[in-house]
C-alpha cells in the first residue's frame, strides 16, 4: 500500500537543503531522517528534545510568532527563453510572485520581483544587476501568524517596453527592498507610492504565458505536514524525480547556488528558483505587509469593467480607520498642549477652554472605541460630570 508521504513526493516541486546543504530533500525525506536520528538519540540515551534537524547554517528558526523572510537567492532560466538562434535567442525576463495564507480566500496581489533585459538560455541571476530592476524579497512578517502559506512563482519571457522598466525603476526607488505589486488595471503599488503604467503594458503583463510556473505549499505549523526547515529550498516547475531521475543525488545547494559533487554550478536544461527561509527580524521590510494589503484592496476597485460592481465594505472600513486615526492624533496633540498650560491667568483659562472644546469636537468624530482615549466616553454618550459638577476635560 502506497503511503501518503510517497504520494506527496510524486507531486513535489519544492526540495529543501538539509544537513548543511549536503543534499536536496523532500518533506518526507526530512521526516524520515528526523525519525531515524530521534531513534538513534534515544538508543544512545540522549535527550529526545535535542533537535535532529540541527544544522550548522546561518539561518534562524522559523515558526508561529517568529519573524519570517522568504527571499529569492538564485534564478536559473535553463532551456528558456525558447527563441530560435537566428532571432537572437534573447528576451526580457519578468519574475513574479504571490504569497497566500491557506486560511484566507482572498487572492494576494502579484509582486514584480525582477525585470531583466536581454536574457538568454541558461542565464543565472542571483540579484538585481545593472541590466535589471527588482528585489529578491518574496514575503516578510515580523511575527508569523499563518500556519501554512502558498508560494506562487513564475518566469515570463517577452519583449517588454521601455516604459515598464522606467515605471518599475521609479517605483523601486522608494521601496527599501519591498517588492512592487501590480493591480489588475496596471497600477504599480510600491512602499509609499503608486505609479500608473500604460494599459497596453499592463495587459502584456497579465496576458503573458509563463515559461516557468510553480505553486508550492510552505507548511509552518500545519497538522499532518512536516514543518518547512529554515535554509535554502529548490523549486522546479515539475517533479524533478520524474523529469531527471538521480538529479537530487547528483546535486546540492552550496552558498545559495546549485552545484554537483565537484562544486561545479549546474548548467543543464532544467530551470529552477532557489529561495531561502529565515527567521531573522528585519525592520527595513516593515512596509511589506501594508504595501501588499494596499495592493490587494486597490486591485478590487481599480480593475472594474463596465457594469461590474464590488462591495465597498473593505474600503469603507479602511477609510473609517484612517479617519479615526486622524482625529485621535489631533486629540493627542491637544492633550500635549493642555499638559503644558500650568498657569491660572485669564489667558491660560481661555486657552484651556478653547482647547478642551476642540478636543470634545474631535472625540465626537472618532467612531471606533479602539482609537478613543481611555478617559473618553463612547461615541454619542454625554460626558460624565465630575464630583464638582463640571465635565472632565475631553
Task: Read off φ and ψ for residue 46, nearest 5 degrees.
Answer: -80, 160
Residue 101 sits at the vertex; the CA angle it makes with 12 and 209, to the nearest 5 degrees, is: 60
- Give me the mean pLDDT over the 157-164 stretch: 80
Q: Is 264 helix (H, G, I), strand (E, B) or coil?
A: coil
What is the pTM for the complete model shown? Answer: 0.71
Indicate the angle between helix axes 199-207 and 162-172, nearest 10 degrees: 90
271 within 8 A of 80, measured Cβ to Cβ: yes
Is the predicted pLDDT of residue 337 greater than 90, yes or no?
Answer: yes
Alpha carbons 154 and 158: distance in angstroms, whole number: 13
Q: Which residue has the higher pLDDT, 329 or 203?
A: 329
Which pLDDT tens digit goes with each residue over 229-256? 999 999 988 778 888 888 888 999 988 9
What average pLDDT does the structure give for the chain?
76
Long-range CB pairs of 8-13 (<8 Å, 24+ gap) are 9/239, 9/241, 10/239, 10/241, 10/242, 11/239, 12/239, 12/241, 13/214, 13/216, 13/235, 13/236, 13/237, 13/238, 13/239, 13/240
Q: Is the pLDDT of residue 306 over 60?
A: no
With a cut of 70, say whether residue 7 has pLDDT above it: no
> What are 364-375's pLDDT values in tens digits?
888 788 888 887
**3-class secondary structure, 303:** coil
Average pLDDT of 335-362? 91
Q: List the grid coordinates of 6.
A: 510517497
Higher pLDDT, 213 or 286: 213
How many other β-carbons are positioned within 10 Å of the β-carbon of residue 154? 21
Least confident among 111-120, 206-215, 307-316: 307-316
pLDDT at 19 over 60: no
Cα distance between residue 30 and residue 228, in whole Å? 9
Q: What is the pLDDT of residues 95-137, one digit of tens each?
A: 999 998 765 555 677 888 888 888 999 999 986 565 677 889 9
Question: What is the rounded CA–CA span in Å between residue 38 and residue 46?
Answer: 9
3-state secondary structure 54-119: CCCCCCCCCCCCCCEEEEEEEEECCCCCCCCHHHCCCEEEEEEEEEEECCCCCCCCEEEEEEEEEE
Q: What is the pLDDT of residue 166?
A: 76
Q: How confident is the model at residue 56 (pLDDT cuts 50, 70, 90)?
A: very low
The DSSP 8-state label assigned to residue 357 in this structure reads H
Amino acid at each position: 500500500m502506497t503511503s501518503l508521504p510517497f504520494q506527496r513526493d510524486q507531486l513535489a516541486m519544492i526540495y529543501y537543503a538539509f544537513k548543511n546543504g549536503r543534499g536536496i530533500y523532500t518533506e518526507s525525506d526530512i521526516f524520515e531522517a528526523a525519525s531515524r536520528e530521534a531513534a538513534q538519540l534515544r538508543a544512545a540515551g540522549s535527550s529526545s528534545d535535542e533537535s535532529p534537524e540541527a544544522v550548522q547554517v546561518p539561518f534562524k528558526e522559523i515558526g508561529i510568532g517568529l519573524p519570517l523572510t522568504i527571499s529569492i537567492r538564485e534564478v536559473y532560466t535553463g532551456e528558456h527563453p525558447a527563441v530560435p538562434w537566428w532571432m537572437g535567442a534573447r528576451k526580457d525576463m519578468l519574475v513574479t510572485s504571490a504569497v497566500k495564507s491557506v486560511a484566507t480566500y482572498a487572492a494576494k496581489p502579484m509582486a514584480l520581483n525582477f525585470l531583466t533585459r536581454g536574457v538568454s538560455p541558461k542565464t543565472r541571476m542571483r540579484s538585481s544587476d545593472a541590466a535589471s530592476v527588482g528585489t529578491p524579497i518574496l514575503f516578510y512578517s515580523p511575527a508569523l501568524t499563518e500556519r501554512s502559506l502558498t508560494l506562487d512563482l513564475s518566469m515570463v519571457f517577452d519583449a517588454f517596453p521601455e516604459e515598464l522598466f522606467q515605471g518599475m525603476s521609479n517605483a523601486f526607488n522608494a521601496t527599501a527592498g519591498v517588492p512592487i505589486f501590480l493591480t489588475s488595471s496596471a497600477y504599480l503599488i510600491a512602499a509609499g507610492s503608486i505609479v500608473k503604467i500604460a494599459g497596453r503594458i499592463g495587459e502584456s503583463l497579465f496576458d503573458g504565458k509563463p515559461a516557468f510556473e510553480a505553486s508550492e505549499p510552505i507548511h509552518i505549523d500545519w497538522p499532518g505536514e512536516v514543518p518547512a526547515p529554515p535554509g535554502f529550498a529548490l523549486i522546479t516547475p515539475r517533479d524533478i524525480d520524474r523529469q531527471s531521475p538521480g538529479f537530487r543525488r547528483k546535486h546540492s545547494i552550496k552558498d545559495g547556488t546549485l552545484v554537483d559533487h565537484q562544486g561545479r554550478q549546474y548548467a543543464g536544461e532544467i530551470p529552477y528558483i532557489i529561495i531561502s527561509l529565515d527567521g531573522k527580524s528585519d525592520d527595513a521590510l516593515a512596509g511589506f505587509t501594508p504595501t501588499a494589503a494596499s495592493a490587494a484592496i486597490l486591485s478590487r476597485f481599480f480593475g472594474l469593467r463596465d457594469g461590474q460592481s464590488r462591495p465597498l465594505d473593505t474600503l469603507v472600513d479602511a477609510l473609517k480607520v484612517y479617519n479615526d486615526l486622524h482625529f485621535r492624533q489631533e486629540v493627542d496633540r491637544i492633550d500635549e498642549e493642555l499638559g503644558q498650560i500650568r498657569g491660572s491667568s485669564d489667558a491660560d483659562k481661555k486657552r484651556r477652554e478653547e482647547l478642551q472644546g476642540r478636543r470634545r469636537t474631535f472625540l465626537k468624530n472618532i467612531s471606533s472605541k479602539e482609537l478613543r482615549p481611555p478617559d473618553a466616553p463612547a461615541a454619542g454618550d454625554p460626558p460624565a460630570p465630575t464630583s464638582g459638577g463640571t465635565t472632565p476635560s475631553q
